[in-house]
Amino acid sequence: MLNPRVRGERVDAAADPAWGWGSSLWLAVVVGCVYTLAAKMSLALLTPDGVAVFWPAAGVAAGTLIALGPNARWGVVAGTMVATVVANLLGDRNVVSSIVFALCNAGEALLTAGIIERYFGWPFSLDRLRHVLGLVGAAAVATAVSGIGGALGFALFHDASAPIFVTWQNWFASDALGIVTIAPLVIGLASAARKPPARGEAIEGLVALALLIVMSVIVVALPQESWTTIVPIALLFPVLLWIAARCQPVFAAAAAFVVTLAIVGTTTIGIGHFGAPGLPMADRVLAARAGIVAVALCAYVLAALFAERRQHEAALAESEARVQEALTAGAVSTFVWDAGTGLSQRSANAAQILGFDPREAFSSSDFLARVHADDRDRFEALTRTVAPERPAYTATFRFQQPGGREAWLEETARGEFDAMGRLLRLKGLTLDVTARKRSEDQQRQLIAALEQRVKNLLARVAMVAKDMRRSGGSFDAYIQALDRRIQSMADAHALLGQNRWDGVDLAELVRRQLAPAATDANAILSGPNVTLPAAATQALAMVLHELVTNAAAYGALTSPHGRVEVSWSLQHGPQQREPVLGKRTYSNEETGQDDDSKKSDPGLLGHADEGMLSIQWRELGGPAVAALPVAGYGVATIRDLIPHELGGTVDLAFAPGGVSCEIQIPLTAVRDGHAGIIRKSPPEGMPSRPEAAASVSLPGQHAGA
């Protein structure tokens, strides 16, 4: 029964759209010409019953049909039949016997190719021993069947004096010999056309064939002495072995063809070892046939065996390459350590993982010397505990590479022991887990940071709730204001979470804080792309929330024609404001309180040599501001939070035309690889962690905001 692969190949070959009647016609002409020439030459050497001693035309037809596949069927059949009839009519055969022989020869080719196609598929090559044996078997079956028809044709339509069984034997031998010697050459040429040999291999094969021709001439020219019996084997076999071992099977088939021509030629002409005039023709024919079969089968079998070996070596090399690629991709190397010699063998990618030069020897002692000093004793102790009852271990340790890089390795090994329980060798894997260790460390840091941020957030919420309670007012108003402020902080945290706490775009932060009270119609935003760190995001969000709340309750956002303009810019180089260390003191005009109640803000306001992020808030078109409000919680948050946490300055003015606020934050510019995006961090000496907010105490009374 055919396997699916063979069946699929046959269907694909039969469905080739490039093969048409024109191709079949040309093939019939070519096969007919070659077949006629081969048949005419074969008829020069006949057995006493009129059968050709060697019929290479059978190999031409069967080999062409096997090599080209089912598409060549009609062209080969037509060419074979026409050529058989022509060759026989040019000899001593009549029309009826010629037609019978043509049908037998065509059927023989079809049967041979059909057996090969059924059991081996298409395309067919002689690079496997089973293929060689299959071709020999198919040739034997097909010639045995066609020999029956041929023997009957000789008995019925040709004057044959030999018994019909002898005729069948001669037909079988001559056609089988022709298929076995000629068909492999045709099949090999087709295989070489599909997969051409390398240039060096082709040159080497041609040189070997030329040498074989010279050796064949020498063998033919040897005198008929007893000592010359072994000379042909001694001269020809090394060359055949060379060709089979080094070249594709097509060169072995060509070598068998060369030897066959030499044997048939000397037998026909009557010279050399196979043409001794003193031997009867029957003995000469038998010796020639035996020599051809021996040389051909020896060449084919050797070529197939060496081809299989090359295929296995290529498959093994490809498999090893895939394993090495997989090991390299997974940062895994294999090793074998011999307990007796202390030597170790490692996979090819070990040099990449361990960092040593692959051209230099790297012993087990060198490996142990590079294990981190803090891990070496533990690693050695673990390897010494390997015993038959506990043959495996897994160790994770640090490894100092020659370049100075420290890597984390995880080694898993299993020991092999002799009958006495003594350790023979260790086999195992070494895995580079540096990335995993770094990921675990980063995960621990992230968890710790998350815990701290949660604590900071809760502390900030508690602080806001506590400070807001001091302002008095109804409990419902307190709950609503607290809810709005918590929602503002939640929005800021949501933005930070979306960016994995890697910073927040200033424009997005402003839009998010304006969203509850403003629209695109009454809010105008402008400024460069700026990414704020977490600390600045949280503080600025609270300040913006208070400004928005004040504008929505008392300012520009209460009027249909009012609007809010928020702009920001980056100022580089020395600033106009001199750095002030210590505390900033607010005047009574700013606080709305007496001189004796001036308050101060500890911290660093800025540095003259640092850049500044300047944010301007302006309200236009709203109701007139009648007087300065009492500095309550909202005003205090606007004025005090930025200076306290970020070391910046805040200029909040309640002008009659509308509230304006200028915020300046000292920043250190850091490019993050995206054009136009500036990443900022608080200046040295100022709190840059979220926990700084937990210790802030914002005095003042709630008024307006």
- The pLDDT assigned to 8 comes to 40
Closest to 534 (Cα-Cα) out of 485, 582, 489:
489
Confidence of residue 565 (pLDDT cuts 50, 70, 90): very high
Confidence of residue 663 (pLDDT cuts 50, 70, 90): very high
339 to 370, 389, 399: CA distances (angstroms): 20, 18, 22
Q: φ and ψ at 655, to 5 degrees?
A: -80, 155
Residue 702 has pLDDT above 50, yes or no: no
- The pLDDT assigned to 216 comes to 83
- The pLDDT assigned to 119 comes to 92
Pair of tokens at residue 422: 């003594």
H and E: helices and strands count for the chain: 20, 16
Contact in structure between 577 and 606 (CB atoms under 8 Å): yes
Task: Summarize the confidence of residues 549-573 as an average pLDDT.
Answer: 87
Tens digit of each residue's pLDDT (9 = 90 or more) over 567-614: 999 887 554 443 332 233 333 333 333 333 333 333 333 343 457 889
Confidence of residue 146 (pLDDT cuts 50, 70, 90): very high
- The pLDDT assigned to 690 comes to 34
- The pLDDT assigned to 692 comes to 32
Q: How far apart are CA 73 and CA 445, in angstroms?
A: 76
Task: Summarize the confidence of residues 468-497 as an average pLDDT.
Answer: 69
Residue 74 has pLDDT above 50, yes or no: yes
Closest to 271 (Cα-Cα) out of 288, 286, 258, 256:
288
Residue 647's region, left for phi above 0, alpha for psi from -120 to 50, else beta, is left
* CB burial of residue 204 (10 Å; 0-12, 13-18, 19+): middle
Domains of the chain (ranges, CATH numbers) = 1-195 (1.10.1760.20), 197-326 (no CATH), 330-432 (3.30.450.20), 439-695 (3.30.565.10)
Q: How far apart are CA 188 and CA 190, in angstroms?
A: 5
Q: Higher confidence at residue 432 or residue 231? A: 432
Tens digit of each residue's pLDDT (9 = 90 or more) over 271-305: 666 666 666 777 777 888 888 888 899 999 999 99
Confidence of residue 6 (pLDDT cuts 50, 70, 90): very low
Contact in structure between 615 and 565 (CB atoms under 8 Å): no
Task: Summarize the confidence of residues 131-142 as an average pLDDT.
Answer: 94
* Mean residue pLDDT across the chain: 78
Q: How far apart are CA 523 and CA 621, in angstroms?
A: 12
Tens digit of each residue's pLDDT (9 = 90 or more) over 327-378: 777 788 888 888 888 788 888 888 877 877 766 766 778 888 889 989 999 9
Q: What is the DSSP string of 431-461?
A: EE-HHHHHHHHHHHHHHHHHHHHHHHHHHHH
- The pLDDT assigned to 503 comes to 79
Task: Summarize the confidence of residues 483-491 as an average pLDDT.
Answer: 73
| pLDDT > 90 in the chain, percent | 24
- The pLDDT assigned to 598 comes to 35
Contact in structure between 64 and 31 (CB atoms under 8 Å): yes
- The pLDDT assigned to 669 comes to 30
Confidence of residue 704 (pLDDT cuts 50, 70, 90): very low
The strands making up 530-532's β-sheet, listed across from edge to edge, are: 504-505, 530-532, 678-679, 670-671
- The pLDDT assigned to 472 comes to 59
Q: φ and ψ at 423, to 5 degrees?
A: -70, 125
Task: Summarize the confidence of residues 35-51 as an average pLDDT.
Answer: 72
- The pLDDT assigned to 12 comes to 45
Q: Residue 563: enclosing H or E segment and its boundaries?
A: strand 563-571
Closest to 352 (Cα-Cα) out of 309, 393, 402, 306:
402
- The pLDDT assigned to 627 comes to 64
Pair of tokens at residue 416: 């092999």
Tens digit of each residue's pLDDT (9 = 90 or more) over 611-661: 788 999 999 988 887 666 666 777 888 888 888 888 889 999 888 888 999
Q: Higher confidence at residue 462 or residue 153? A: 153
